[in-house]
Amino acid sequence: MRYIEAKTILSPVKQGPDNIFGLKYNMNLYRGCQHGCIYCDSRSDCYKLGDLSDIRAKENALILLEKELKSKRVRGTIGFGSMNDPYMPVEKEMELTRGALKLINRYNYPIHIITKSDLVIRDIDLFKEISRSYVAISLTITAADDQLSAQIEPGAPVSSKRFEAIRKLSENGIHTGIMLMPVLPFITDEKENIEYIVTKGKECGAQYILAFMGMTLREGQREYFYDQLDKRFPGLREKYTSAFGNDYNCSTPNHKSLYNAFYASCYKNSIQTQMEFHKPIEPKQLTLF
């Protein structure tokens, strides 16, 4: 790991808040990611992040964050985890994410965190305080089977540990849900996989599940993914090239039936398929009398 200097730390979401997560700002305290997910979109050439295994910590991140939190005229939800996981292993020692949460709590901003790590439960104490404004924690779970999750997300905790993190967050009153995305064609696109994640999520206290029955493939990302398919799932590269060519948005061939199974299972288990966003309190207008 090495250190880099950042020029800014809070990036405004274009035309935000967005309509999926309700984010006004994005924040990445690190560059690169240790989870090594074979499908990661952050490898795309357009982001110019270089080798994702080269972990770079932004050593001035917390100084910048406090300055920017003070100066923002509009409070809005801050998203963690857009280009890397805020709870990858290096966070155990660096604690940049925990430091950022302390500042955000001080300045009363809402947050949404996306992670694949059960390390997130370390910060339950801070989530409880920040939840006076708004907190949402989304655990990404793509495979019900631990062995399969270890194949496609080799550096991340297995799915069973993420389900337990959801349970602990929920038991502590934290608004918690699941990111069921991506769904990898010919790998995780089975009805049984989708339904298990929904029912297990309900059992563990997930309040919402956001799903996309497919994946993205762009320059840089595509080449790495295909190399990993050759190593881990021999013969699948040819199915991908035949089905998708150079497409960016690669929905699973059976996406319609998967969505039907997903919505039916969520309805049966009383789980929301959209998030409830932070709603700023509008000041009451004074009357003359």
Any domain includes 228: yes
Domain containing 233 equals 2-268
H helices present in the chain, as ranges: 61-71, 91-94, 96-107, 124-130, 146-152, 159-171, 191-204, 221-232, 236-244, 255-268
Cα 188 to Cα 68, 99, 148, 202, 259, distances in angstroms: 41, 36, 9, 20, 14
Any domain includes 66: yes
Looking up tokens 């349970």, which residue turns up? 167
Note whether 163 and 201 are within 8 A (CB): yes
Any domain includes 172: yes
Domain count, the chain: 1
Separation between Cα atoms, residue 256 and residue 277, nearest integer Å: 27
Separation between Cα atoms, residue 287 and residue 289, nearest integer Å: 5
Token output for 44: 């795309």
Any domain includes 286: no
Any domain includes 282: no
Separation between Cα atoms, residue 57 and residue 71, nearest integer Å: 23
Task: Please give the model's pTM, rounded to 2 decimal places.
Answer: 0.95
Any domain includes 171: yes
Any idea what the CATH number is for the domain that residue 163 is in?
Answer: 3.80.30.30
Separation between Cα atoms, residue 40 and residue 225, nearest integer Å: 8
Separation between Cα atoms, residue 112 and residue 89, nearest integer Å: 20
Any domain includes 287: no
pLDDT tens-place values along the chain, 289 residues long: 899 999 999 999 998 899 999 999 999 999 999 999 999 999 999 999 999 999 999 999 999 999 999 999 889 999 999 999 999 999 999 999 999 999 999 999 999 999 999 999 999 999 999 999 999 999 999 999 999 999 999 999 999 999 999 999 999 999 999 999 999 999 999 999 999 999 999 999 999 999 999 999 999 999 999 999 999 999 999 999 999 999 999 999 999 999 999 999 999 999 999 999 997 654 444 454 4
Any domain includes 285: no
Question: Residue 141's closest CA among 186, 101, 176?
Answer: 176
